[in-house]
Amino acid sequence: MQTISRRPRGGLQGRLRVPGDKSISHRALMFGALAIGETRITGLLEGEDVLRTAAAMRALGAEVVRGPADWRVAGRGIGGLCEPEDVLDMGNSGTAARLLAGVLASHDLFAVMTGDASLRRRPMRRVIEPLAACGARFTARAGGRLPMAIEGARDALPLSYRLPVASAQVKSAVLLAGLNAPGLTRVEEPHATRDHSENLLRHFGAEVTVEPAGAGRVITLMGQPELRAADVQVPGDPSSAAFPIVAALLVEGSELRIDTVGMNELRTGLFATLAEMGAELRVEDRRVEGGEPVADLLVRASSLRGVDVPAERVPSMIDEYPILAVAAAAARGTTRMRGLHELRVKESDRLAATAALLAANGVGVAIERDDLVVHGTGGRPPGGGLVATHMDHRLAMAGLVLGLACAEPVRVDDVSFIDTSFPGFAALMTGVGADFSGE
């Protein structure tokens, strides 16, 4: 069933908290399963993607239980995972699939991994190639696509790998494989990517060093540590916060306060970009919770201007480009977002799909090589079109936010996938004044 999003009669008003950070939630479950003892996780994102990770860790022998106030993970220790009895279905989550491939690669067991139709189209070769060097064997469909069989290494070798492109998922997969290999595993990344894996590895007791190397970094992990159970407090996901933030910026008379948002400097590229565009976005009460920086955000409706977004910013906002494009559609002047080749291999071809989302609603847009160029309307975009989501949760949310800003209602073809990363999105947004309805 299609969903219609239309401009509300008044501004968006209220105080809210977005679900827990998806990247940290996946990792907390995996590291808890690899640790000795019981880890308690509060604020875990209970979206479909993360629940698939929880199910996979249960299948590998960890005890994962949802309590009334937190999640509890009784781990098996490094090297202690058991062979799953059935196929591991990772649903729509590329993060879960790639990180879990790293875990499985250095454990002496056999496993088969699959996912939904969208995930089965996404390339896994980028993790297969470095992980095979530890001694694991992979059998996958053409192009390294799921379903994929993994025969973990009996005596895993440490890895040394230079990422061809900045990717936190590939980096994390290599580090996870290195946990069960003797000696040093080394990863060099050309540009710094989100460092939740490094932070959590230290939190659980691993020896991890990070050194600058030009524009990037070199991460070194001492293999075969004894990870110790450690409680994790998951902050609000900045990628999820992006949607109510942009909605408030574009709807006249809006003022929203969003509590306890993760402010890891490798995740806040969107906030920096919106500030350059003239957004009234205040960061308040900065603090550290669970080893991660967090803050409360106050956002008010603002008149935005087009900017040039450098390619170097991509790793710090890789998931936010669809919603940034929506902001750019209402800005004065032209916004150019550079170096977006990684968007072509997300849940959909996000580069093409984001351009189509805007074009269908009367916004001038072009793709020039790997750049997305949006010609802002300086006010209300026309709207009136249909957004094709391609089973992509972020496109669905971007389409719904666009409708709140447009002169004419916007139809979104499928919003069912939003729960993979932001359960309760529609209810939360309508609670602060958004106007969504089924057709």
Active site residues: 319
d(CA 335, CA 333): 7
Q: Are 322 and 328 in contact (CB under 8 A)?
A: no
**Distant-in-sequence, close-in-space partners of 137: CB < 8 Å, separation ≥ 6:** 150, 151
- Residue of 263, 301, 302 whose CA lies nearest to 283: 263
- Residue 247 corresponds to which tokens in the numbers above? 């909605």
First to last CA, the chain: 7
Q: Are 30 and 50 in contact (CB under 8 A)?
A: no
**Distant-in-sequence, close-in-space partners of 323: CB < 8 Å, separation ≥ 6:** 242, 243, 246, 270, 394, 397, 398, 401
DSSP secondary structure string for all residues of 210-244: EEEETTEEEEEEESS---B---EEPPBPHHHHHHH
Cis peptide before 310 (omega within 30 of 0): no
d(CA 58, CA 69): 20
Q: How far is residue 394 CA from its own chain's centroid?
A: 10
Q: Is 411 helix (H, G, I), strand (E, B) or coil?
A: strand
**H runs (alpha helix) in 124-164:** 125-132
